[in-house]
Amino acid sequence: MQKQKKIAPSLLAADFANLERDIKMVEQAGAHLLHYDVMDGHFVPNISIGIPVLKAVKRVATTPVDVHLMIENPGQYVDAFTNAGADYLTVHMEAAPHLHRVIQHIKSNGIKAGVALNPHTPLNTIEEILPELDLILLMSVNPGFGGQSFIANTLDKLKRLNYMLAERGLEHIEVEVDGGVKYGNISEVAAAGADILVSGSGIFKADDPVQMVKDMQIKLENITAYVY
C-alpha cells in the first residue's frame, strides 16, 4: 500500500526570533506537517521548547503540528500538549514504562498517537502495541540535537518495520524518520518505507528553504514503490 509521503520541517532549525515568518515560509512551500521537538535536559542532554511556544505556533500554523516529546514521564504532559494544540503526539518507548496507558490517553484526547524509537532500540519492543498506534517514529540520529549525520542502519530498520506492518495488515500506520534527512538522501529514506520525512537543517539551513521544500517534494513524488 502506498501512503502519501509527507515533508515535516523541524522547527528546531528555524529562526526562533522569526518563527511565524519561518512557519509561513515552509507552509507556503508545501510542507505537510510542522515537526516540533520538545527536549527536557533529562531524557536527552539538550533543552528546547515546550508548551507556551507550541500555543504560539498554533496561532499561526495552518498545517498540523507533529509534536515529538523527548522527555521523561511523557504521560504526565499528555493533556498539556493536547490542550496546547498538538495534532500528533509522539512519546519515546524508552521513556514510558507504561506505554500502553500513555498511548490510550493520547488517543482518548482525540489526537494521533505515536511512539518513537532510539537508534539502538529494537523494533520488537513495540510489537505488542502496534495495533494501537497511528504513527511510529524511527530516530535516525541519537535524539537531542539537530544537524547530525543520518545513521545508515535506519534504512534496514525501516524495511523491517514496513514488513512487520504489512504482515499484520497495519499498513495504515504512518512511519516517520527523524534526523539527518536531507535532499541527498530523502529518496533513499522514502523508498525504504518512510512516509513522513522530518528535516530540520536540511531545509532551514538551505540557501533557499522554499525551493528546498519544493525540490524534496518532487523527489517524493517520484518514489513509486517500497524496495523491501
Active centre residues (catalytic): 37, 178
Picked from ligand DX5, Zn ion, none, the partner binding residue 73 (CB below 5 to 8 A depending on kind) is: none
Binding mask 47-86 for Zn ion (x = CB under 5 A): ---------------------x------------------
Task: Rule CB under 5 A: choose which of 13, 31, 33, 37 binds Zn ion.
Answer: 37
Distances (CA, A) of 148 to 39, 179, 185: 16, 7, 14
Torsion of CA 181, 183, 187, 192, to 10 degrees: -10
Min CB(149)–ligand DX5 separation in Å: 8
Distance CA 114, CA 66 (A): 9
Picked from ligand DX5, Zn ion, none, the partner binding residue 179 (CB below 5 to 8 A depending on kind) is: ligand DX5
Q: Which residues pair with 136 in a beta bridge?
A: 115, 175
- 50 lines the binding site for ligand DX5 (CB under 6 A): no
| Backbone dihedral region for residue 136 (phi beyond 0: left; psi -120 to 50: alpha; all else: beta) | beta
Binding mask 4-23 for ligand DX5 (x = CB under 6 A): ------x-xx----------
Distance CA 151, CA 185 (A): 11
Q: Which residues bind ligand DX5 (CB under 6 A)?
A: 10, 12-13, 35, 37, 68, 141, 143-148, 178-181, 198-202
